[in-house]
Amino acid sequence: MKTIESEATTTQEAQAAPETQEPKAPTKAKGAKQARSVAPAKGKSSKKATPAKKPAKAPRSKKPSKTTESAGPREGSKTAQVVAMLQRKNGATLAEIMDQMGWQKHTVRGFMAGAMKKAGYTVESFKPEGGERTYRINQ
pLDDT at 115 over 50: yes
Mean pLDDT, residues 121-127:
90
Q: Is 69 inside a domain boundary?
A: no
Q: Is 52 inside a domain boundary?
A: no
Q: Is 117 inside a domain boundary?
A: yes
One-letter amino acid for residue 99 of the chain: D
Bigger pLDDT: 50 vs 71: 50
pLDDT at position 120 is 87
Q: Is 112 inside a domain boundary?
A: yes
Burial 26-61 (b: 16+ CB within 10 A, else e): eeeeeeeeeeeeeeeeeeeeeeeeeeeeeeeeeeee
Q: Is 3 inside a domain boundary?
A: no
User: What single DSSP character describes residue 59?
Assistant: P
pLDDT at 67 over 60: no
Q: Is 91 inside a domain boundary?
A: yes
Instruction: Please give the tally of structural domains in the chain.
Output: 1
**CATH number of domain containing 122:** 1.10.10
User: What single DSSP character describes residue 25?
Assistant: P
Least confident stretch, 40-49, 75-84, 95-104: 40-49
Domain of residue 98: give its range: 78-137
Predicted structure pTM score = 0.46
Q: Is 61 inside a domain boundary?
A: no
